[in-house]
Amino acid sequence: MKASGSTGWKAPVKFRMPTAENLVPIRLDIQFEGQRYKDAFTWNPSDPDNEVVVFAKRTVKDLKLPPAFVTQIAQSIQSQLADFRSYEGQDMYTGEKIIPIKLDLRVNHTLIKDQFLWDLNNFESDPEEFARTLCKDLGVEDPEVGPAVAFAIREQLYEIAIQSVASARESRLSKKGRRGSDHGSASSKASGLSMDLVKLFSFKSSVVRKRKDLDVYEPVVDLLTNEEVDALEAREERHAR
């Protein structure tokens, strides 16, 4: 993704996903009555709430899950939507314009790792289109990889958007307490957000080296054997317990 130049510390905007479509990343991992259901998808927070129960019932029917899963699925989705909506209407700072996005995914037999820069102030960005282009360029044939890549991008953008709300809140409190130090306050918040990004993307060690590598990082795509997939799934199952 091409990065444009930074224009400094911008005025706050109202909370939303920093993408063209304001979609909430929803992740489900439900174990009930000896069965497990995992899924990840996006949801439009403007959709009627009764659509959640309709989706849960359809999912349980299609996957032949126990009826009790309807409540479990619906409650998990509703809880995550409530978390998202709790930020709506609040100011957020997009702060540092260019942020790092990191991918480390396994989808079926495909393992994909990549790292690139994303323009947080581009509210016309499209993670799904980016993921389709990335998979095409890398020769990835599994149709499930693209949606997983887009979801991973949206999850990270969501986390940064939440951090941006906290930054805007700190800014308001700082201005109330110190009217005459706006420049120092903005600089401090920008630095704080930068450090938060370091923590979020696990740049705790060798920060300079890893940030430098962003410009030359090459994506990695591996096709795993059945034995390798079985071993990974067994390890994931042990961790889940």
For 171-224, write each residue's pLDDT tens digit: 778 776 666 554 444 444 444 444 444 444 443 322 233 455 545 568 999 999
Tokens encoding 202? 């696990």
105 has which bridge partners? 112
Evaluate whether 105 touches 148 at the Cβ level (below 8 Å): yes
Evaluate whether 168 touches 93 at the Cβ level (below 8 Å): yes
Q: Which domain holds residue 31?
A: 13-90
Q: Is residue 23 part of a domain?
A: yes
Q: How many CB atoms lie within 10 A of CB 84?
A: 21
Model pLDDT, residue 218: 84
Q: How far is CA 44 from CA 14, 21, 51, 76, 120, in A?
A: 17, 8, 10, 15, 20
Tokens encoding 152? 């991973």
Q: Are residues 76 and 137 in the same domain?
A: no
Q: Is residue 2 part of a domain?
A: no
Evaluate whether 84 touches 43 at the Cβ level (below 8 Å): no
What share of the chain has pLDDT > 70, as a percent?
76
Mean pLDDT confidence for 83-88: 97
Evaluate whether 137 touches 146 at the Cβ level (below 8 Å): no
Return the beta strands (E) in the chain as ranges. Answer: 13-14, 24-32, 35-43, 91-92, 98-107, 110-119, 220-223
Model pLDDT, residue 177: 65
User: What is this structure's pTM?
Assistant: 0.78
Q: Is residue 182 part of a domain?
A: no
The total number of structural domains that make up the chain: 2
Model pLDDT, residue 188: 45
Model pLDDT, residue 157: 96
Q: Is residue 236 part of a domain?
A: yes
Q: Are residues 105 and 221 in the same domain?
A: yes
90, 122, 157 - which closes a domain: 90
151 has which bridge partners? none
Evaluate whether 189 touches 167 at the Cβ level (below 8 Å): yes
Go through 208-231 and write b for each residue having 16 or more CB atoms within 10 A of its CB, e for each that does not. eebeeeeeebeeeeeeeeeeeeee
Model pLDDT, residue 213: 54
Q: Are residues 214 and 161 in the same domain?
A: yes
Residue-averaged pLDDT of the chain: 83
C-alpha torsion sign, points 69, 107, 205, 198 = negative
Q: Are residues 117 and 199 in the same domain?
A: yes
Q: Is residue 177 part of a domain?
A: no
Q: What is the pLDDT of residues 9-37, one digit of tens each?
A: 467 889 999 999 999 999 999 998 889 99
Tokens encoding 167? 């930054």
Token pair 């307490």 in the structure block, residue: 177
